[in-house]
Structure 1
Amino acid sequence: MKVSVVLPAKNEAEGLRRTLPALAATLPGAEVIVVDDGSTDDTAAVAAALGARVLSAPYSMGNGAAIKRGARLATGEVIVFMDADGQHDPALIPQLLARLEAGHDMVVGARDGSGQASVGRSLANRFYNRLASWMTGHDVRDLTSGFRAVRADKFREFLHLLPNGFSYPTTSTMAFFRSAYPVDYVSVRVDKRVGTASHIRPLKDGVRFLLIIFKIATLYSPLKLFLPTSAAFFLLGVGYYSYTFVTQGRFTNMSALLLSAAVIIFLIGLVSEQITSLTYRRDA
């Protein structure tokens, strides 16, 4: 298989000086694409000097946008995505490729707790993993890892779903599960990043990750969100009606509102389920 390696990079000149030589030693025949996301340092010059194919943006479009641009440019049957800041060890790539050859369509480098930048981020990622596992019905070991190998043709099917910012890993993982493309995980270590601090803002991007999960959940299996919500409104309506009937002997407007909301939410869920089926049709 021809392999393309895509590295989104924003002001990662120092990280590339360590990552690209190690990548060339591990995969000497691979196509290496560095997507320069509007860097203000010499990221593009360093990448070009070290033999990478450079795709530069005139301004920062976001990590997800860099991933999409790199995926469109890649010519390999398999695309490996990894960070340019030195956190991901290129020597681990053959492990990901071996799982692809075993029949999987996406293999994710799953970090353990020691691979998280902080306790807060580790707890947040555990929450995201559990929520995604419930939505998909599969064990999601690392929803937000940017170190992964995918079959290029399968990945490009979902480019229109990927956000321009964070987090493309969340969207692509759940989309692969939804489309019944086998996903596997390989345990990997994460080294300390080189250069500037992480571009992720824990609070703002944490909320954004959560919104992305719910957005993709509605594209993945809407009834798993709408049905419990509808049931909650229904139970509240029945409970409130029982209370007012016993205490006042009447059916109140609030009971009618809650029961109506339950029906409306359930019907919206059914319509969303049908739209989801159309979204994932390969010939759509």
Structure 2
Amino acid sequence: MDSSKYSYEVIVVDDGSKDKTPDIVEQNFPWIKLFRRPVNYGTGTARKFGTEKAKGKYVVWSDADLTYPNYLIPELIPHLDKYDQVIGARKTEEGQNKLLRVPTKWFIRKLAIFLSGKNIPDLNSGLRAFKREFGLRYLHMLPPGFSCVATMTLAFLINGHPVKFVPIDYFKRVGKSKFHPIKSTWEYLIQVIRMIMFFNPLKIFLPISIFLMIIGIGKFVYDIIFYHFSIKGSTIVALMIAIQVFVFGLLAELIVKISKK
């Protein structure tokens, strides 16, 4: 950054860590803005806190485990002339527990692509730059855990912000990963669904309604053929539930549209 044309500040948020990270920062990098938080509330809360404290026009997020090529930050910033967010899309997955992480992230990314209708090369990259004025709009949606980065990706894409994905290298982690195969996966999955529900609920309700309607119609035809036009109660229930789910989706969509005005 020193060799670039940009002025900048570096913010380190110590989220209740138990090592000597804040002491090392204070002793060796006195120019860094260090914020100590006595209790660990998660990476999402830390990123939110740091973004609120930032003073610049642009905000860059990165992890402290040396997995991301932070030297490429000056190359990301020029893209913000045309885009509202620039995300470093990792070429490979070098994290721990690769056998679990890779298929899990692939599934959640594909789900996010289907629900959002947008191409997403990397849903939860930790290296990204965005315009602070827009990022502040969505900080209240950030969960405390790892899914905060996926939240910021979806918030920008679903709300029509132009987002640029730039391929980057991804290196082996320094230290132990806090990714939990079950807990973290569940958090990612729920957050993706929650974000779609918040901005485009019909993407959730409509497929469910269609699925139930197909089952109901199929059962209706089955009853006509095998029960001589005697429609069973289960068939009527399936059709009614399908209609109700669709109506709930329309109401949710209406609420979203009104809340945006």
TM-score (norm 1): 0.85
Match of 1:48 in 2: 26
Is 1:255 aligned to 2:235, yes or no?
A: yes
Partner-residue secondary structure (3-state), 2:10: strand
CA–CA distance in structure 1, aligned partners of residues 20 and 3 of structure 2: 23
2:255 maps to which of 275, 280, 283: 275
Match of 1:109 in 2: 88
How far off is 1:26 after superposition? 6.5
Distance 1:130-1:55 versus aligned 2 partners, 3 A rule: same
Structure 1 residues 26-35 or 133-142, which shifts more? 26-35
CA–CA distance in structure 1, aligned partners of residues 177 and 3 of structure 2: 26
Structure 1 residues 238-247 or 208-217, which shifts more? 238-247
Match of 1:211 in 2: 190
1:81 maps to which of 32, 39, 61: 61
Structure 1 residues 248-257 or 146-155, which shifts more? 248-257
Structure 1 residues 68-77 or 131-140, which shifts more? 131-140
How far off is 1:25 after superposition? 6.7
Is 1:201 aligned to 2:180, yes or no?
A: yes
CA–CA distance in structure 2, aligned partners of residues 280 and 200 of structure 1: 35
1:181 maps to which of 161, 177, 182: 161
Q: Deviations over 1:161-202 (max 9, x none)?
A: 11111211111111111221110011111122223x011112
Distance 1:181-1:43 versus aligned 2 partners, 3 A rule: same
Match of 1:68 in 2: 48
Is 1:33 aligned to 2:5, yes or no?
A: no
CA–CA distance in structure 1, aligned partners of residues 10 and 258 of structure 2: 35
Match of 2:222 in 1: 243
CA–CA distance in structure 2, aligned partners of residues 153 and 87 of structure 1: 27
Match of 2:135 in 1: 155
Is 1:125 aligned to 2:125, yes or no?
A: no
Does the Cα contact within 8 Å between 1:171 and 1:216 map onto a contact in 2? yes
Q: Deviations over 1:92-129 (max 9, x none)?
A: 1012112112x100000000234454143122222222
Distance 1:110-1:280 versus aligned 2 partners, 3 A rule: farther
How far off is 1:278 after superposition? 3.7
Question: What stretches of structure 2 of length at least 5 have no aligned partner?
Answer: none
Distance 1:68-1:280 versus aligned 2 partners, 3 A rule: farther
Partner-residue secondary structure (3-state), 1:157: helix
Does the Cα contact within 8 Å between 1:62 and 1:165 map onto a contact in 2? yes
CA–CA distance in structure 2, aligned partners of residues 147 and 71 of structure 1: 14
Structure 1 residues 130-139 or 185-194, which shifts more? 130-139
Structure 1 residues 121-130 or 155-164, which shifts more? 121-130
Percentage identity across paired residues of the two chains: 32
Partner-residue secondary structure (3-state), 1:158: helix
CA–CA distance in structure 1, aligned partners of residues 104 and 139 of structure 2: 25
Q: Which amino acid aligns with 2:119?
A: D
Structure 1 residues 28-37 or 142-151, which shifts more? 28-37
Distance 1:31-1:133 versus aligned 2 partners, 3 A rule: same
Question: What stretches of structure 1 of length at least 5 have no aligned partner?
Answer: 1-22
Q: Which amino acid aligns with 1:34?
A: V
Q: Deviations over 1:14-45 (max 9, x none)?
A: xxxxxxxxx66778841111111100111111
CA–CA distance in structure 2, aligned partners of residues 26 and 87 of structure 1: 22
CA–CA distance in structure 2, aligned partners of residues 25 and 198 of structure 1: 32
CA–CA distance in structure 1, aligned partners of residues 133 and 61 of structure 2: 14
Distance 1:125-1:279 versus aligned 2 partners, 3 A rule: farther
CA–CA distance in structure 2, aligned partners of residues 277 and 47 of structure 1: 46
Distance 1:152-1:215 versus aligned 2 partners, 3 A rule: same
